[in-house]
Amino acid sequence: MSRLQNGETFPSLTVPAVGGGTIALPGALAGSYGVVLVYRGAWCPYCQAQLAGFQRAAEKLAATGIKVVAFSVDDEATSAGTIARHKLSFPVGHSADADAVAEALGAYTNAEPHYLQTTGFLLDPEGRVVNAVYSSGPIGRLVAEDVIGMVDYLKSKG
């Protein structure tokens, strides 16, 4: 398994979406800067804080032209509870296959119970990796304010 490098095209990945349908990446983010948040699960307070932080920044993210998606191995009911708890307005996927996602993205996994460790990506409008954050444990993750600052900087160069 190899980690994604800056400039690489984000691989095709599809996860079930809460409420029906699927989230097909990177297509769901095409034409905008995009953030992909792979989170450990509803039980992880760090993950919940990250999701809530991206929701608090939703207006600023949208104004900057950044779309967000998130997913975990949690089942649909648990993921729906996360959406409700934080009033998430961005798409959230559920029931991700930890091994398939780890193989595609290079994400770390936990053996028992089996779940994905926190992994985050900032993608450019063409679906290429601008920044990847891999964590092997509960801490170390993308922060909404940093993402907004980086996209503002990239646009100013552009």
- pLDDT exceeds cutoff 70 at 1: no
- Helix 76-86 with 45-56: angle, nearest 10 deg: 50
Backbone angles phi, psi at 9, to 5 degrees: -75, 135
Supply the mean pLDDT for the chain.
97
pLDDT for 158 equals: 76
Range list of H helices, the chain:
45-56, 58-64, 76-86, 98-105, 144-157
- Cα 46 to Cα 50, 81, 123: the distances in Å are 6, 16, 22
Averaged pLDDT for residues 29-51: 97
**Which pLDDT score, from 0 to 100, does residue 92 have?**
98
Q: What is the average pLDDT across 5-28? A: 97
Q: Write out pLDDT tens, residues 104-149.
A: 999 999 999 999 999 999 999 999 999 999 999 999 999 999 999 9
What's the pTM? 0.97
What separation, in Å, do the N-terminal and C-terminal C-alpha atoms of the chain show? 33
Give the whole-angstrom CA distance, residue 86 versus residue 78: 13
pLDDT in tens, 63-82: 999 999 999 999 999 999 99
Cβ neighbours of residue 44 closer than 8 Å, sequence gap 6 or more: 118, 138
